[in-house]
Amino acid sequence: MRPEHQGVSHKLIETGHAVPIDDPKWSKMREELGLDPLPPTVHSYPKAVKEIQHIIKQTGFDKLVNYKESKKDGKT
Amino acid sequence: MVKHRYSFFLGCVIPNRLPQIEAATRLIAPKLDIELVEMKGASCCPAPGVIKSFDKDTWLSITARNLAIAEENGLDILVLCNGCYGTLIAGVHDLKDPVTLKRINKILKGTGHQFQGRITAKHLVEVLYNDIGKEAIEETVVNPIDARFAIHIGCHLLKPSDIRPWGVVEDFTLVDELVETLGGTIVDYKLKDMCCGAGGGLRSAELEVSLDMVREKLEAMKQAKIDAMVNVCNFCHLQFDLGQMQANKHFGTDYQIPVLYYTQLLGLAQGFTPKQMGLDKHYISVAPFLEKIGMSV
């Protein structure tokens, strides 16, 4: 498991997106294009992120990608 | 009454890195009598190259949740990304097996979603070519685009072909035809069917290899003397646009090939401005192409 791919997995667990809005410039760009600053995805529905995390817990994916341990080590 | 309604799947890269493609698609849709219904709370598809490779049940469960959201809308999915399409259509296929469906729906318990297998996922190309049709698209063209284009189809749109709607996938011409419908001339180039180099987790983990692949394609496009390249996948788009800039820096090249997602080109043909299509947001300047067709950013 490459650390880059592990990082992508951690972003999915934390946000529901493998490529999330992680800088205000992306929301600004959306607004410049006439879009809402956040898309109508998990980004606009905190409950939806919980649903993804529920799935992750059920399958044990968090353990597979060493989620908690990596966070503790500051690798995320 | 709107004739064509779809659950609109955004994925990650389009809303969070390339919103110009989202904006362009939302603008062109009504002209084709398409209503894009939001998939509220949808997530990453999730990415086939990474998540599916790590754990299939995690991948399939998150896919099933996305499919269930579309099913709750009562509408098939319209998807713009080849990778997301690959995941969603594979999910539809895998979940036809009752044992698998039962196992995955058990994992989904507690999320409030269950997938019943009543909807499918369609790529933009399938929607435009099969559901809307070239004639209806042509009727919306007010500004034919007279320019030379290289087409990049991408991998997941066509393969694995046994769970795609196309039949024969060799010499696939649907995207070429959709561009010709707007007035464009298609230019053949070496390596047309080659991967852009972004997918499968390659771009995130092996950037140099990934950029070398896109450099090969860019060189072939340059030799073909095109005005712009057109794609139907946002991740390929990112690779050709941002990746082109990165490849120039890494390899000391100076490719300046304008990159357009199909709905951006369609929007120009429908009379929208380059700014409305977000062409001022690209890494590689689109100005030379726009000048060729009598427009400016």
The arithmetic mean of pLDDT across residues B97-114, rounded, is: 98
- Chain B nearest CA to A69, separation (Å): 18
CB atoms A12 and B51 under 8 Å: yes
Entry pTM: 0.95
Q: How far apart are CA B263 and CA B191, in angstroms?
A: 24
**Which fold is adopted by the domain B4-124?**
Glutathione S-transferase Yfyf (Class Pi); Chain A, domain 2 (1.20.1050)
CB atoms A55 and B19 under 8 Å: no
DSSP assignment letter at B156 = T
pLDDT value of position B2: 83
The arithmetic mean of pLDDT across residues B176-189, rounded, is: 98
Could you say which of B13, B39, B278 has the minimum Cβ distance to residue A19? B13
Domain-by-domain residue ranges, chain B? 4-124, 142-292
CA angle B166, B117, B125 (to 5 degrees): 30
Residues of B with CB under 8 A from a CB of A: 10, 12-13, 15-17, 19-20, 22-23, 26, 38-44, 46-47, 50-51, 54-55, 57-58, 61-62, 65, 107-108, 110-113, 201, 204-205, 278, 281
CB of B258 within 8 A of CB of B283? no
Nearest CA in chain A to B207: A4
List, for residues B188-238, the tens digit of each pLDDT value: 999 999 999 998 888 888 899 999 999 999 999 999 999 999 999 999 999
- Determine the residue type at B89: I
List, for residues B119-161, the tens digit of each pLDDT value: 999 999 999 999 999 999 999 999 999 999 999 999 999 999 9
List, for residues B266-289, the tens digit of each pLDDT value: 999 999 999 999 999 999 999 999
Q: What confidence tier does A76 reach under pLDDT thresholds 50, 70, 90?
A: very low
Nearest CA in chain A to B275: A33
Q: ipTM, 2 decimals?
A: 0.94
In angstroms, the Cα distances linking B55 to A23, A56, B129 are 29, 10, 34
Q: Which residues of B touch A34 (CB under 8 A)?
A: 23
- Determine the residue type at A42: V
Which of B171, B277, B158 lies closest to B228 in space, CA to CA?
Answer: B277
Q: In what order do the strands lie in the sheet with B185-186?
A: B185-186, B148-152, B228-231, B259-261
Q: How far apart are CA B229 and CA B149, in angstroms?
A: 5
Output the 3-class SS for B20-54.
HHHHHHHHHHHHHCEEEEECCCECCCCCHHHHHHH
Same fold, B4-124 and B142-292: no
Q: How far apart are CA B293 and CA B260, in angstroms?
A: 14
Q: Is the dihedral of CA B74, A59, A7, B52 positive or negative?
A: negative
- Determine the residue type at A31: E
Nearest CA in chain B to A35: B23
A76 touches chain B (CB under 8 A): no
Q: How far apart are CA B57 and CA B51, in angstroms?
A: 10
Q: How far apart are CA B117 and CA B235, in angstroms?
A: 27
Q: How far apart are CA B53 and CA B200, in angstroms?
A: 9
A10 touches chain B (CB under 8 A): no
- Chain B nearest CA to A29, separation (Å): 7
The arithmetic mean of pLDDT across residues B26-44, rounded, is: 98
Contacts of residues A56-61 at CB distance under 8 Å and 24 or more positions apart, as own/partner, are A56/A13, A56/B58, A58/B61, A58/B107, A58/B110, A59/B55, A59/B57, A59/B58, A59/B61, A59/B107, A61/A9, A61/A13, A61/B54, A61/B55, A61/B58
Which of A4, A6, A23, A3 lies closest to A67 in space, CA to CA?
Answer: A6
Tokens of B86: 């690959």
First to last CA, chain A: 14
pLDDT value of position A75: 39
- To probe the interface with B, which of A22, A52, A65 has the most B CB atoms within 10 Å? A52
Share of chain A above pLDDT 90, in %: 80
Asked: is B142-292 a CATH 3.40.50.11810 domain? The reply is yes
What are the beta bridge partners of residue B15? none
CA B126 to chain centre: 11
- Chain B nearest CA to A62, separation (Å): 10
CA angle B262, B83, B263 (to 5 degrees): 10
